[in-house]
Structure 1
């Protein structure tokens, strides 16, 4: 029994993540504590008001970013050692099931985020950003796990509704800030260019299993819809205080509103067909080996007819049917529907000292969807800046026993080059407890004098510029003395 459950967990509970939405190497190293310390283009998606901190700094241009990770909520060296054996006792079953219940069921999540090179730029109080996002989310309901773990004696009615969503979108943002004497405001206006979508319609889908003394029965219906080409708009709002004695406070609301309307007229169908290698594995959608046409939806139904120990050999107890139906309006055009871009609330503060910066954030989502969780997440990060060109970072975040993270990172800042690296132990705090990891690196360009204000550059006596200034000063002094 234990080995069967172990195999199910290994193959079903892993989540593969390739760059979570709106993340860069510095925030990885700080475990998400970013609401009051993000810089330049990297404030987008965290707190747009921080763009006002760059009003007297040079431009920032993102050249390249790579973010690769792996995430699960069960498999770790510690859990493998703890649950190895032949059988599970009641305490171990309860412990495992509690872990699954916290995750809402067995889920698979794949997320790819790519800041488009050379299309993310900021100068002064303005930032222009462009990000390509692909999300693939699949969740098996907790009711099925409850049936496997406890049989039909736990609950008489088990919810068996699946969740499936595949989404591709380009997110274009225009960010501007409005500074005042003691406080600043920021806004990001987003255009959401929908590429493709496929998912189970929650309003038209349901499934359950009834467990009783006479047997097990139930049924389900899933309507799986798709959208090719869409558009929508989003809005981020932020606020940040002026730095007072090193202290800064800020808050933001990401995606105050953000929806995408699918199947509206666009040239996306032609684009997807012209570049199939870019979207391989996502589009065109296939079901049961058959390609789903653009004007079709999938209706899957099944029925379980009183399953008992004495009739397991009957073939007619379980029946299912898959239909490809036309999902169009009366005029033949595909039906238009909306998907919601999840909102996030962020609050944070930071303290800047001569040799380090410490920051802390509280973040909450309003629904369990894509990158958002409907619970609070606390994070704290420390950046050591004693070596100005080689900052070191460490961070920790906690959002319940099933979501904790220890991270670290460093950077290199010399002249126009800003290079950052971040690594995080996901859902764990060290090698033997981590259930995944995140590895992120990126290169950004700025002016030859570095990401500094004009006054900081004038007072900077380090490096080649400092040497030249010293030589000029000595030459001027000699010229004056000779007179």
Structure 2
């Protein structure tokens, strides 16, 4: 029979920390923790491998490509509402000032743009009965701009307001391999996934040491930025997924999963990936410090002194670049871990309602350290 997926309620603008998404998961707005089957259960809930798969006991995927580009602030509804609107004029229906609502979108996390690409390379994904082996290559980038960018753009430059303009950037490419098993028992099923990471390359800013600011007082303008970048080749790491799914009882089914427990990659050490990439051992870690400064600008710098002479660009702007020594030990980059609670209700033999409640423990790479709720209806 043909399968139709209907998006019922999607309170998530993205699938929490999910690099791997099949069409069924997307159609259900990410409410997939209870009904994922076969190798599609890997990364969601490995306990589901213990339940029969609708396509039989064996599934093989020779390859797929998954591309996603998103921001976590502006939805299509928001873009349609604010596009071309006078932000200072009250809404004729609600009386609200659009500017306040627009700024509120950015207040908690600022602006965040993300891009990800997943390829089933170099091998394949296979599930047979209650076990699965999956491999893939992941590329991901995460850019965060603080709230003060939106404040400066909408409200303009306010006197004595010290704007935090520090940008955070993380990007990586890594190969991932999983082995998963599910075990049925009287009350349902439990499962695990053992995950291995082979980091290929990482580039990002050191968020603890990077800063940028902008301030205008009553007599002058001050601005400066200092960024430390890190480029690394070759990293290794591991993670663990644990899951439980109950049996279907009176049409109800419950699941819980913990994904990427203890997951992190260690960089700045010799690996097979570094040798395959042809990177010399001396170059596996490269770090630079960039310093940008504006001279404390006064009205004289804009309009000239008493003789009408204005300073040159080189006199008011300074940029420096320097290389930093690699650290003595390895550099640890966390991989997002999260918890997922799922619920399924079989309304009739052809219709099922599913719901997931999920939260990440980290705020990086498609993950959020806040709870999200997603719901969907599937009609078979």
- Residue 212, structure 1, aligned to residue 206, structure 2: no
Unaligned stretches of 5+ residues in structure 1: 1-16, 275-283, 285-291, 330-334, 386-483
Unaligned stretches of 5+ residues in structure 2: 1-14, 90-96, 303-309
- Residue 361, structure 1, aligned to residue 359, structure 2: no
Q: Count the aligned residue pairs.
A: 345
Q: Where does residue 3 of structure 2 map in the other structure?
A: none
Q: Where does residue 99 of structure 2 map in the other structure?
A: 93
Cα pair 1:169 1:193 within 8 Å, conserved: yes
Q: Where does residue 147 of structure 1 map in the other structure?
A: 152
- Residue 244, structure 1, aligned to residue 243, structure 2: no
> TM-score, normalization: structure 2?
0.81
Q: Where does residue 29 of structure 2 map in the other structure?
A: 31
Cα deviation, 1:323-349, whole Å, max 9, x if unaligned, reads 2334254xxxxx520100011110011
Cα deviation, 1:6-40, whole Å, max 9, x if unaligned, reads xxxxxxxxxxx9x9602111101111111110001
Q: Where does residue 170 of structure 2 map in the other structure?
A: 165
- Residue 41, structure 1, aligned to residue 46, structure 2: no
For 1:82-481, what aligned pairs fall within 5 Å after superposition?
82-84=82-84, 88-89=87-88, 91-102=97-108, 104-116=109-121, 119-153=124-158, 156-273=161-278, 294-312=284-302, 313-314=310-311, 315=313, 316-327=315-326, 329=328, 336-352=330-346, 353-385=348-380
Comparing 35-44 with 107-116, greater Cα deviation is found at: 107-116
Where 2:63 maps in the other structure, the secondary structure is strand
Where 1:84 maps in the other structure, the secondary structure is coil
Where 2:43 maps in the other structure, the secondary structure is coil
Structure number with higher helix proportion: 1
1:109: how far off? 1.9
Q: CA RMSD in A?
A: 2.9
Cα pair 2:114 2:366 within 8 Å, conserved: no
Cα deviation, 1:282-321, whole Å, max 9, x if unaligned, reads xx9xxxxxxx954431111122333344423543333221
Residues of 2 paired with 1:51 and 1:78: CA distance? 39
Comparing 245-254 with 214-223, greater Cα deviation is found at: 214-223
Where 1:166 maps in the other structure, the secondary structure is strand
Cα deviation, 1:432-454, whole Å, max 9, x if unaligned, reads xxxxxxxxxxxxxxxxxxxxxxx
CA gap 1:20/1:240 in 2 versus in 1, 3 angstroms: closer
Cα pair 1:152 1:212 within 8 Å, conserved: no
Where 2:242 maps in the other structure, the secondary structure is strand
Comparing 74-83 with 241-250, greater Cα deviation is found at: 74-83
